[in-house]
Structures are given as structure tokens and as C-alpha cells.
Amino acid sequence: MSIWRAPLTPEQLTERGRRSLSGYLGIRITETGADFLRATMPVNEHTQQPFGVLHGGASVALAETVGSLASMMCVDTERSMCLGQDINANHLRAVSSGTVTATARPFHLGARSHVWHIEIRDEQERLVCVSRLTMAVVDRRPNTAKPA
């Protein structure tokens, strides 16, 4: 059984972030499963730190992007919006090139909060980073813009 209330295609989700940080970093949503969302990000001059390896902040941006989009798909966006409340990350392996893939799965999907487990892996499926993201689910105010 799917957890998604508002299922969107990977193309729709990628387009949503095209003009934001995720678009600049080259993040692409690649797959939705019954209980997960997956995205990729290149390891290049936009996502590396000065020593030529994947920047930890870029990994966190990837984790928050995939977790935030997943939360959004679990709520009625006419009534609620999801806002990042807390994120942590453990960086386990350096990556200097290629593509990394993040997979978000829920630990908890409540009425007022969601907690996501995000794993980031390299092209050899080695674990690069693990992250936990807590999202606040809040009522949408009447003047709050809806996602495009």
C-alpha cells in the first residue's frame, strides 16, 4: 500500500525544484516506490568542497530535498504544508566524482510531524551519508502560496 496522498511523477518533482537550490545542484528525482522517494545528484564543481570531494552541505541539501518532497506528497497540500524542523547527517565516505543517490523512507508519518531516514550511496552502492529529517506539518494560512 502506498503512503502517498498526492503522488507526483519524478519529472514533476524535479521540475518543481528547477529554479531553486536543488536545480542548481543538479538534483533529479528518479523514482517513487510505495514507501520511498529516490533522487540523484552529481558530484561536480557545484557540489564539491575545495579539496575536490562531495561537500557535506551538498549531501544535507540532497537529503532535505528528497525528504521534504516526500513529506509534501504525504499531505493534503490544500490544507497543510511541510517545513523542515531538524536535520542531522553522518558523513561516512568521501566521494570525488560520479553521482550519489539518496533514498528517503519514513520512520514516522504523524498528523503534525514526519520523520524520514535518508541514505545516500555512491555508484558502487557504498553508504556515503545517513541522515534523519524531521518535518513539521502545519496548517496552511489563507495567504500562503501553494506549491507550483
Q: DSSP 3-state assignment of 63?
A: helix
Phi, psi of 71 (to 5 degrees): -60, -45
Q: Which of 64, 119, 123, 125 is catalytic?
A: 64
Provide Rg for the chain, Cα atoms. 15
Q: What is the DSSP letter of 20?
A: S
In angstroms, the CA 142 to CA 25 distance is 32
In angstroms, the CA 66 to CA 100 distance is 13
64 catalytic residue (yes or no): yes
Q: Which residues pair with 132 in a beta bridge?
A: 88, 117
Judge whether 101 and 30 are in contact, CB under 8 Å: yes
**Which residue type occupies 19?**
R
Q: Are strands 80-91 and 37-42 parallel, antiparallel or unpaired?
A: unpaired
Q: Which residues are catalytic?
A: 64
